Structure 1
Amino acid sequence: MTTLLTRILRALEQFHATHPWDHNAHYHRLILRQLPKRINSALDVGSGSGDLARLLASRAEVVHGIDVDAAIVARARELTAPAAPVTFTVGDALNEIPPGPYDVITCVATIHHLPFSDALTRFRQHLAPGGTLVVLGLYRPQFRSDYLIDAAAIPSNVAMAWIKNKGRKSPRPTSMTAPTRPATMNFADIVRNAHHELPGARLRRRLFWRYTLVWHQR
């Protein structure tokens, strides 16, 4: 059984290497649904190649993206139209955030690279009254419910990879070239720490090994 499982996992890994798709971008539209139709300013923390920042620009007067990876920031600038109200900064998401406050702060697949509670505190400090924080994060599976969700995600993951690549082998998207690291916090610890720093925050586990956190500044 162990040998069979190992073979299955290797086959899945090989399939996804040749049929990659961006799990984070899959949730960009969901993130937009948490936000007002029009906003003055937005900050995207861990902006990567800028896909979400450019989407935010369809609603915001000004969008700032910040990422610690200089190469991916350079690529984001290349991909962004000169007339777009979007700027990208290379910097530490905790200590070098461009001056705010911001009506919206988004953070996609980045907060597990940072001290979790410190990051939430810093985001709260840069959020304008009435502003919205949306985090799409990764968590470490630990409990049975986590593994059940993971198991349900596997066939959906294969199907999405096939659909998004139209059945063909495809190169890795630019948005997936930034450095990655595995999550270290389980979902229960994430919820507990989030509620301590952001009372009233709404957290929900999602398919494809992700969770969302939504919080409104009063």
Structure 2
Amino acid sequence: MTSGPAVRWNNNIHYHRRILDAVPAGARTALDVGTGNGLLAAELHQRVPEVTAVDPDATVLASARTEDEGVRWVQGDVLTYPFPPASFDVVASVAALHHLPDLDRALARLAELTAPGGVVAVVGLARSSRPLDALYDVAGLVQQRRYRRRYGIWEHSAPMVWPPPHTYAAVRRSAARVLPGAAWSRLPMWRYSLVWRKPPPA
């Protein structure tokens, strides 16, 4: 891995730990969906021997490749790229699912690619629609200012979609439909997390 700044921080990097903590013991393969600049894929590769990272944007992938030459970098759309079903012990995504308008289809695809006993781990963005969301937004603003004073903000070069097309409530309903039993958390700094373990073979 190439060396970079001592600390790179932004709202997405802050929550990488949510993904890394969900990696099951003994995981051998991982897929980073919408890898962007590749920071999560490189961190996953420190824990998982075989990591594939997919993104449709060729320019941002050129940047990602400098993070870790041992990751398999793939340009493509996760919904249509011919990954074999059930081929990854970990299917992870940070700040990418809001780029995919059909959330049910996107979550179903992540589940399809996950091996039995494996994990889907997502940190995503959504849109506030309820009073409780506003409280998280205020808390997130305070938290972000504190971290920004300490670390600054590392600016990624991946394409952005704002505002997100889905509300937090819609994401939670979609997860309940497609990934029954998934653990859902609303997070400060305009994020949510979603962790689902695919049932092992009977």
**What is residue 95 of structure 1 aligned with on the other side?**
80
CA contact (8 A) 1:132 1:217 kept: yes
CA contact (8 A) 1:67 1:89 kept: yes
Matched, 1:78 2:66: yes
1:1-218 correspondence runs (5 A): 21-80=9-68, 82=69, 84=70, 86-96=71-81, 98-99=83-84, 101-114=87-100, 115-165=102-152, 172-173=154-155, 176-182=156-162, 183-218=164-199
For residue 60 of structure 1, give the secondary structure of its aligned residue in structure 2. coil
Larger Rg: 1
* CA–CA distance in structure 2, aligned partners of residues 191 and 201 of structure 1: 9
Q: Number of paired residues?
A: 189
CA contact (8 A) 2:183 2:196 kept: yes
Post-superposition, which runs of at least 4 consecutive aligned residues in structure 1 deviate over 4 A? Answer: none
CA contact (8 A) 2:42 2:67 kept: no
For residue 128 of structure 1, give the secondary structure of its aligned residue in structure 2. strand
By how many angstroms is 1:156 displaced?
Answer: 1.3
**What is residue 4 of structure 2 aligned with on the other side?**
none
* CA–CA distance in structure 2, aligned partners of residues 97 and 39 of structure 1: 21
Query: Which runs of 5 or more residues in structure 2 are unaligned?
Result: 1-7
* CA–CA distance in structure 1, aligned partners of residues 149 and 81 of structure 2: 39
* CA–CA distance in structure 2, aligned partners of residues 93 and 22 of structure 1: 24
* Coordinate RMSD, CA, aligned: 1.6
Change (3 A) 1:58 1:142: same
Query: Which runs of 5 or more residues in structure 1 are unaligned?
Result: 1-19
| Percent identical residues | 37
By how many angstroms is 1:97 displaced?
Answer: 5.1
Query: TM-score w.r.t. structure 2 length?
Result: 0.89
1:15-43 CA-to-partner distances (Å, cap 9, x unmatched) read: xxxxx942111111221111124311000
CA contact (8 A) 1:64 1:98 kept: no
Change (3 A) 1:59 1:97: farther
The residue type paired with residue 105 of structure 1 is V
1:123-164 CA-to-partner distances (Å, cap 9, x unmatched) read: 111110000000111110011000011111112111111101
**What is residue 17 of structure 1 aligned with on the other side?**
none
For residue 18 of structure 2, give the secondary structure of its aligned residue in structure 1. helix
CA contact (8 A) 1:66 1:97 kept: no
CA contact (8 A) 1:91 1:97 kept: no
**What is residue 10 of structure 1 aligned with on the other side?**
none
CA contact (8 A) 2:28 2:89 kept: yes
* CA–CA distance in structure 2, aligned partners of residues 211 and 97 of structure 1: 28
**What is residue 8 of structure 1 aligned with on the other side?**
none
